[in-house]
Structure 1
């Protein structure tokens, strides 16, 4: 699981927002989108998604219209889902 954290660099317009939403919908239809949304306390947002490896994850982030347009920059992070199986949610 990966996260790309976006930071606003330039103003967005309605057409660009529509293309971004369509991109997210395509990730969802492929079963890759986990969660996404804007931050309320920081100028940017994030997309949590599934990818086979860091290279694919980076390609997915770079293909987002917000990134392609230069209106947002991004950082990518690898996220390990905490659960009972990996013992991250066991009681101590």
Structure 2
């Protein structure tokens, strides 16, 4: 299952370089574990998005809550379950 972690700034404080590095290391670890699909900041909104693979919603919550941005209280998150709509799955079974 795929999950979208939407990150938004909880404060107006600038992120320290140390905190940014810790966040990037968290993302690298997810990538090494094969759980990271895509991630990056928004250009028109203060925050970003992390798309992950997880076995359950509980695991996705654990991943989101161990992000240093969230642990520090500098960012909040929302978690969404994401189902792909692709040609290979008939766009979730929708027929023309």
- Give the length in aligned residue pairs: 92
Q: 2:29 — aligned with what?
A: 26
1:16 alignment partner, SS class:
helix
Tell me the CA shift for residue 2 of structure 1.
0.2
What is the RMSD computed on CA atoms of the aligned residues? Answer: 1.5
1:57 alignment partner, SS class:
helix
2:4 alignment partner, SS class:
strand
Could you list the per-position Cα deviations for residues 43-74 of structure 1 after superposition, in whole angstroms to 9, with x for gaps in the alignment? 10010000001000000000000000000000
TM-score, scaled to structure 1: 0.93
Q: 1:72 — aligned with what?
A: 75
Q: 1:44 — aligned with what?
A: 47
TM-score, scaled to structure 2: 0.89
Aligned partner of 2:87 among 71, 84, 88? 84
Structure 2 unaligned blocks of 5 or more:
none
2:43 alignment partner, SS class:
coil
Q: 2:7 — aligned with what?
A: 6
